[in-house]
């Protein structure tokens, strides 16, 4: 195909020019939820350039007030409690993932936040309230031993911690029922995940049920105790290819189906990013199951509660987007809901079911005109061996979609998936005149067990072939110019970008690696110790175990660093100094090897970040650099 010089300036295309700050500064407001008594909402909004928790009365008209005061790092997770006085939030230290639980006194605005888990170097995970224990919450702490998380109950008002169960070793996900029974998950060396009942006195383990670990690379998800404590709601592939919702009886281990979809999996996204919607929509006051989310090209919700079914019918009329966060008051009448949308994200409404009235509370990004943003279109690409690859194509506005420079944007995980949503990276690239292609390659989650397990043993193999096949598809359809293709990814996507320039160096003219793996052997040996028992079902199964010499050799052969001498593509590398998942040494190695050969490489390190950037100024710096880098190498405009 003959290409012509590509004019990407937004002015020439009649499209508003979006700055990096427009797209990557903090939202004006986001993450709203209603208080249990229905009189207030909480949400996240900037304070001193960091997201903090704000509380606003719904009836008085008084100005909202900021109730947290973290000017060092943005807050992203908070919790209402059953006592209207207390609000809790979670925070780590510069991306180290050592999460602490903090308490805010809403009746005493002058009082500072109290760290309820003040243990240096320790993490508090798995926060969960229990309907049967008002004023209390469960959490797991590793302050006794970094490798083992013990189960504690915390009194929210006093901060008193009570040890419920000491981790006996080699177990995960300690679970405590309202009747006082103790359960745990055991990740077996062969890969199976076993649910056992624990005797807290003797440590004796009684098997309850077992799951094939190959079906659950990130663990059984969802895995939610029922309110009465007699069962667990679990994601199950039993008797089918798609993940359905089942109830596992804790007395017998028997599974019974609760709900399913003939063509879709339960929404898997929160297994990687807990801030994304859970597949289970629960009544936070009773713990009962209201609805179930499934995810295909768009979201599908099955209402399992008659009252919620009535409410849902009204909620889904409020937006053309997909229902995202959902919260209601104790009466089940007042609801605060937000929506996922490819061009108008985070629109949030208040709905009163008793009156049928609703009102818009806010738009997360009021400065962005949805008409100036590019639609995200689902497409299906067929791989060279006949596998259907669900993908998303974002094309720039104001230009004929032919012979465009293209950026292949690769998701992380690899046990994650791209979905229909607002993606600021894709919007920046499209605004600059690039086509953007995002591929759910084999091994991505949410497309059935067969598709998931097709990724086993295929790192730098068929998983990468899928990406190259997608590039060929875009060129064959006429969207993309074969000579102007770039690859950009984070985490596993960063590894995929490095594989792209080492295994297929003729395909890409530029690459951006954000926190990517350069050496699979050193990566797997440097993960935190408490993670290693879980590697059997994911990295060891899909890639290999470096403790086995033959597998170690194969891991090295699939590592970009083993082929670093083949890199001639300009490369940009971005890394968080506190990343505990893909440590800085992974990026250092690839950069040092390229600089020794004189290959062009730009390297950005932010010492106060972890696996992915949180602080807005760091994201803005990174995307300014990426904007300039791609403009040079794709003949774009910035």
Q: What are the residue numbers of the active site?
A: 491, 579, 611
Contact in structure between 89 and 102 (CB atoms under 8 Å): yes
Conformational region of residue 301, where left means phi above 0, alpha means psi within -120 to 50, and beta covers everything else = beta
- In order, the DSSP letters of 139-174 are EEEEEEETTEEEEEEEETTT--EEEEE---SS-EEE
d(CA 187, CA 48): 43
Task: Transcribe 7-53 into DSSP letters.
Answer: ---HHHHT-PPPPHHHHHSPPSSEEEEE-TTSSEEEEEEEETTEEEE
CB-based contacts of 188, cutoff 8 Å, min separation 6: 194, 213, 536
506 burial class (0-12, 13-18, 19+ CB within 10 angstroms)? exposed
Question: Please, which residues bridge with residue 155 across strands?
Answer: 136
Contact partners, residue 252, CB within 8 Å, separation at least 6 = none
Strands (E), 191-279: 193-198, 205-211, 223-225, 231-236, 244-249, 255-259, 265-266
369 DSSP 8-state letter: -
Task: Please state at what angle helix 492-503 crosses helix 462-476, rounded to 10 degrees.
Answer: 70
φ, ψ of residue 82 to 5 degrees: the values are -70, -15
Helix spans in 485-637 (H)? 492-503, 520-526, 539-542, 549-557, 584-597, 616-634
The residue to which tokens 């309820």 are assigned: 116
- What are the structure tokens assigned to 186, written together? 């055991």
């Amino acid at each position: 195909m003959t290409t012509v010089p590509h004019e990407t300036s937004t002015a020439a295309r009649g499209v508003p020019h979006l700055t990096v700050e427009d797209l990557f500064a903090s939202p004006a407001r986001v993450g709203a939820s209603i208080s249990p008594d229905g009189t207030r909402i909480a949400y996240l909004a900037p304070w001193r350039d960091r997201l903090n928790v704000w509380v606003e009365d719904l009836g008085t008209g008084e100005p909202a007030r900021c109730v947290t005061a973290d000017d060092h790092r943005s807050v992203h997770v908070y919790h209402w409690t059953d006592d209207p006085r207390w609000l809790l939030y979670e925070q780590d230290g510069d991306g180290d993932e050592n999460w602490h639980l903090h308490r805010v006194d809403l009746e005493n605005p002058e009082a500072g936040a109290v760290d309820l888990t003040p243990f240096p170097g320790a993490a508090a995970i798995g926060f969960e309230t229990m309907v049967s224990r008002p004023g209390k919450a469960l959490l797991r702490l590793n302050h006794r031993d970094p490798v083992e998380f013990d189960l504690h109950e915390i009194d929210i008002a006093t901060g008193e911690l009570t040890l419920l169960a000491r981790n006996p070793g080699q177990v995960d996900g300690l679970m405590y029922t309202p009747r006082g029974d103790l359960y745990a998950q055991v990740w077996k060396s062969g890969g199976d995940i076993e649910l056992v009942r624990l005797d807290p006195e003797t440590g004796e383990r009684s098997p309850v049920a077992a799951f094939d670990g190959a079906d659950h690379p990130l663990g059984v998800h969802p895995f939610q105790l029922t309110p009465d404590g007699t069962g667990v709601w679990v994601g199950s592939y039993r008797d089918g290819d798609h993940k359905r919702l089942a109830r596992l009886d804790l007395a017998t281990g028997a599974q019974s189906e609760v709900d399913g979809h003939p063509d879709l999996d339960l929404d898997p996204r929160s297994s990687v990013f807990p801030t994304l919607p859970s597949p289970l929509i629960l009544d936070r006051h009773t713990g009962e199951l209201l609805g179930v989310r499934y995810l295909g090209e768009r979201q599908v919700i099955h209402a399992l509660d008659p009252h919620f079914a009535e409410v849902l019918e009204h909620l889904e009329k409020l937006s053309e987007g997909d229902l995202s966060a959902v919260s209601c008051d104790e009466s089940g009448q007042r609801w605060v809901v937000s929506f996922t949308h490819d061009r108008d994200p985070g629109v949030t409404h208040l709905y009163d079911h008793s009156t049928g009235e609703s009102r818009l509370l806010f738009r997360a990004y009021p400065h962005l005109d949805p008409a100036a943003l590019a639609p995200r279109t689902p497409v299906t690409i067929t791989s060279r061996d006949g596998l259907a690859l669900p993908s998303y194509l974002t094309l720039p506005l104001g230009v004929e979609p032919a012979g465009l420079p293209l950026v292949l944007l690769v998701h992380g995980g690899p046990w994650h998936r791209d979905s229909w949503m607002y993606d600021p990276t894709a919007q920046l690239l499209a605004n600059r005149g690039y086509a953007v292609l995002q591929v759910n390659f084999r091994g991505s989650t949410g497309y059935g067990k067969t598709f998931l397990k097709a990724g086993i043993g295929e790192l730098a193999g068929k998983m990468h072939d899928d990406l190259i096949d997608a590039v060929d598809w875009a060129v064959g359809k006429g969207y993309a110019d074969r000579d102007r293709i770039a690859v950009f990814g984070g985490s596993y996507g960063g590894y995929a970008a490095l594989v792209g320039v080492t295994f297929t160096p003729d395909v890409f003219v530029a690459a951006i690696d954000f926190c990517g793996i350069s050496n699979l052997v050193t990566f797997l040996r440097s993960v935190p110790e408490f993670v290693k028992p879980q590697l059997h079902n994911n990295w060891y199964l899909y890639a290999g175990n470096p403790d086995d010499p033959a597998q170690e050799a194969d891991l090295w052969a699939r590592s970009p660093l083993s082929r670093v001498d083949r890199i001639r593509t300009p490369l940009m590398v971005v890394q968080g100094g506190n990343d505990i998942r893909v440590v800085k040494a992974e990026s250092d190695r690839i950069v040092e090897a390229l600089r020794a050969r004189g290959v062009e490489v730009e390297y950005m390190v932010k010492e106060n970040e972890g696996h992915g950037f949180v602080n807005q100024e760091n994201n803005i710096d990174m995307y300014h650099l990426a904007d300039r880098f791609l403009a040079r190498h794709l003949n774009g405009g910035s």
